[in-house]
């Protein structure tokens, strides 16, 4: 059963991107928390994933971001797939 209090249907793409960009990350190579965020993109809403029920697809979203470490210059991409609430 879906809980409409946490529905993503009425949340704007700008709000979702803002939340993504406000998250803190560390470098996957050296562990340094001094990360620069270059680009984030809201890719999809209602994205189908493995074994999803139709009600869960409606609450799914995908956001990606390109990041780099100011310590070791390592570049990496973060992808967050929000699959909705757990049953």
Residue 39 is classified by DSSP as: E
Q: Which residue has the higher pLDDT, 72 or 5?
A: 72
Q: Which residue has the higher pLDDT, 44 or 67?
A: 67
Residues ≥6 apart with Cβ < 8 Å to 11: none
Q: Is the dihedral of CA 49, 54, 60, 64 positive or negative?
A: positive
**pTM greater than the 0.95 cutoff:** no
What's residue 73's pLDDT? 96
Judge contact between 74 and 55, C-beta under 8 A.
no
User: Which tens digit of pLDDT belongs to each residue from 12-63?
Assistant: 777 777 888 889 999 999 999 999 998 888 776 555 555 555 555 555 678 8
């Amino acid at each position: 059963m879906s809980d409409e209090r946490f529905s993503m249907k009425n949340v704007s793409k700008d709000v979702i991107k803002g939340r993504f960009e406000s998250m803190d990350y560390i470098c996957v190579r050296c562990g340094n928390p001094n990360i620069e965020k270059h680009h984030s993109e809201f890719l999809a809403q209602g994205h189908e994933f493995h074994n999803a029920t139709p009600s869960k697809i409606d609450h799914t979203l995908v956001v990606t971001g390109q990041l780099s470490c100011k310590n070791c210059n390592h570049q990496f991409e973060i992808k967050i797939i929000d699959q909705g609430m757990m049953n």
